[in-house]
Amino acid sequence: MTMCSVRRRVRYWLAAACVALAPWAWAHPCDGVLQTASQAAHADQAEAALGACLAAEGPAHIQLQVARELLQRSRGQPLACRYAEIVERMLEFPLPELDDATLAGAADAARVQACDCDRQWLRDHALQPQEQRPSWFGEDTPQALLAHAIHLGADSAHELVASYRRGMDHVCLFVGDHMRHAQSRGAVSSGFVHGELFAAESDGQPVAVLLWQAGMRGQLLQVIDMTAGHELLKVRSDWPVNYRLQEGALHYEQFRERTDGEGLEAVTSVFPLP
């Protein structure tokens, strides 16, 4: 899909906003739109101005910022998911007018919302792993559930949602209603293999254990702190990685070529879990 087709899709979806902004017909809807929205007396006026810019032929770098602003202002998940889709599509094209911090902020905002949309999509369809349905990203986009796990803690639920969408495998980790960690990797060469939640003690805070492909035959093993969203362990191997969770620790086995060139040897390590 080209940038032009993305714009056409956005214009069609937001055409009604242009009618609402008839008084500004003599000026381009994107002229000073971010400032206009920030100074609007009412939220509806701000959103109408932003929507008119997004529906018009306008500078892509301005429209990306407008889409992000609409995403942040969204009231209700259907709208938020639609704006997350628009931001993600626009970020697929070069926008040299914007600095890295602005682009990263837009990507982060879309990523957080996309995780919420993935989880709601799962709840709406009540899927089992490997089942596929049309995505929230669009009826023409298939999405498949890869894994789903929930750990009910003393204070809140911890949840792992892994799904495939648009050539990428996406993993989202939640504590209660808050997304704590998200990753997206190419499904062919770096795709999701396995994921689970594990708590060292029955009332302890769980960690997420994730296993990904890493090239043709390698694998990447990760341990993620569910509370902070930080990576606690990252092990990449040119060969498959075996692991087991036992006695409050992660026992993992890597394979490497023997120094004498006679096949492979296993190297076992233990990582204590918090």
Residue 121, domain member (yes or no):
no
Residue 141 belongs to domain spanning: 133-272
C-alpha pair distances (Å), 264 with each of 96, 192, 211, 240: 47, 25, 21, 12
Q: pLDDT tens across 139-194, in order?
A: 999 999 999 999 987 788 999 999 999 999 999 999 999 999 999 999 999 999 99
Residue 216, domain member (yes or no):
yes
Same domain, 91 and 157: no
So what's the pLDDT on residue 248?
85
Residue 188, domain member (yes or no):
yes
pLDDT band at 2 (very low <50, low <70, confident <90, very high): low
CB 206 within 8 A of CB 153: yes
What string of DSSP letters covers the chain?
Answer: --HHHHHHHHHHHTHHHHHHTGGGTTS-TTTTHHHHHHH-SSHHHHHHHHHHHHHSS--HHHHHHHHHHHHHH--SHHHHHHHHHHHHHHTTS--TTS-HHHHHHHHHHHHHHHHHHHHHHHHHHT--TT-EEEETTEEEEEEEEEEEEEEE-SSSEEEEEEEEETTEEEEEEEETTEEEEEEEEETTTS-EEEEEEE-SSTTSPPEEEEEEEETTTEEEEEEEETTT--EEEEEEESS--EEEEETTEEEEEEEEE-TTSSSEEEEEEEEE--
pTM for the full predicted model: 0.85
Residue 127, domain member (yes or no):
no
Q: pLDDT tens across 117-133, in order?
A: 999 999 999 999 999 99
Domains of the chain: total:
2
Same domain, 63 and 164: no
Q: pLDDT tens across 31-74, in order?
A: 999 999 999 999 999 999 999 999 999 999 999 999 999 999 99
Same domain, 77 and 151: no
Q: Name residues whose C-beta falls within 8 Å of residue 74's C-beta, 6 or more positions apart in sequence.
A: 80, 83
Same domain, 214 and 94: no
Same domain, 72 and 199: no
Tell whether the model's pLDDT for residue 235 goes beyond 50.
yes
